[in-house]
Every structure is written in C-alpha cells, then in structure tokens.
Amino acid sequence: MRQIEHIKESGGWLNRYTHDSACCHCEMTFSVYLPPAASTRKVPALYFLSGLTCTDDNVRVKAGAQRYAAALGIALVMPDTSPRGEGVADDPDRYDLGQGAGFYINATCEPWASHYQMYDYVTRELPALVEAELPLIPGLKSITGHSMGGHGALICAFKNPGAYQSVSAFAPICNPVNCGWGEGCLSAYLGDDREAWNAWDATALVKAGAKPLPLLIDQGTGDEFLAEQLHPRALVDACLERNIPIQFRMQEDYDHSYHFIASFIGEHLAFHARHLQSD
C-alpha cells in the first residue's frame, strides 16, 4: 500500500492508497476513511462499491458518509469499480463496458479475463490487504453499494455466507441477466452461456438457495433507470418466495444520483452499525 492522500475529516482521516494488485494485474486505487475511534482501537469496516463510470472518489466526495462513520466508529473502504491503466482492456465507445464497468465479477473471456477479476479483488485481495495494514477488526465487515455497485454488494454477500454481517444497496441492478447493462457486460466478460451468468445475478442466487442475512434496499421512484435496468421487484419476489427477510423501501421522487444516496446514507450506516457490534 502506498498512501497518496491523507485528509483530516470529521475527526478521523480520509486516506487514499495505490497498490499492485495480484488479482487484476495492474495498479489499483482505493480510499479508506478511519473514524476517530481507530486511533485507540480496532474498528469494523463497511465496504462501499460504486457504480458505472465511477471511481472511489465519487462516494467519498458526494455521499457525506464520513460524518456518520465517525459517529458510529466504522471504517469505510471504497474500492475502484474496475482495473485501469495502460494495457487494461477497454471499450472507449461504451461507458457500460470496460474501465469503470467491472461489474464486480471474474471475467473468463479475453481480452477481459487478464485483468477483470473484480470479485476476487473485492472479496479476497482488498480485505486481506486493509486488515493487515490498518486497524480493522479482521472478518468483521459489511457491504453496500450503488447501482452496479449495489449489484456487486448483493452478489458478494450472497456468494459468501458468513463473510459479511449485513448488506444494503442504493438502486441496485437486481437482475442483470435480464437488463441491457447486465447482458452487455456479462456476455462480453463471460461469453454466451446464459446459465453461467446466473452465478453473478442476485435474483438468481436467491432462487438457487442463497442464505439470508440482514438486507436493506432503497430505491427512488423517480429513478430514470428503474423500469429498464434495475428490476428490484424480481429480487423482492425471489426473497418472498424463499421467506428471506428483506427491507425494501421505495423513496418517493428520488432519482439515481448521489443526492439520493446522500439523503439516506446515514440510515444505511446506522443499519450496518447494528450488525457490526463486536462481542
């Protein structure tokens, strides 16, 4: 880890790091907010996965999460959305494929497979790195995200029972095998076998037997992507069919932007804080 920024905020420190990733075979950047409590003790962590076109910078600047994390004694870990740099595959004509659009899966098709191993990066490499280098409680973590990152948070939680204490999402892509964003990326990264896509779809994972954990989703009724891309009802119905508890809230008139996230980020951190209490 190479520290490239160190900013005092809400009594704690907002740090930014780069490191050479063994999963993604490139230099990766991520940010961590350490609350004031981290100066005297270990603290649990909440991972925030950002959406299409974003980097780690969007959430740390726009969401207003740090002040809540400071009060609750939770560290925030904010990874990038994809591998980047010279030699990393990209499609410059598309915002929804390539750099900025890693979809938090492990690609199996070239030219993507060489670098696009974001699932392994988020669930294995990055936690091991930050827990070794920073005052975090090993294994005590939760996960959240927005849009593509909400999809990432859900699949990481459902595919790793016991790894996360809780999961939440803002306007997540809930059924990517049945939406344009998901079909475009999954076909490129994984090939044409649609059955293989189900391993990276939150709705399909629930139907296949994913274990329940505390789950909160907020969705704005004014979201311009709600009807065509997000499909939250598919996930809600799958949870109801399997008697999996889900707290799903439709927020009147809110759109897909960080104004929406900033309006409810405090409630999401409080939700996770209740489940991150160490014994």
Q: What is the dihedral of CA 13, 69, 59, 15, to 10 degrees?
A: 20
The CA angle 185-182-120, to the nearest 5 degrees, is: 65
Element (H, E) at 232: helix 232-241
Cα distances from 221 to residues 95, 124, 226, in angstroms, run 24, 35, 8
Catalytic residues: 147, 223, 256
| Interatomic CA distance for residues 51 and 193, integer angstroms | 25
Rg of the chain on CA atoms, in Å: 17
Q: Name the nearest CA neighbour of 11 among 98, 70, 75.
A: 70
Q: Name the nearest CA neighbour of 230 among 250, 244, 215.
A: 250
List for the chain the helix, strand, coil content (%; round to 5): 40, 25, 35
> What are 52's two structure tokens?
């299409």
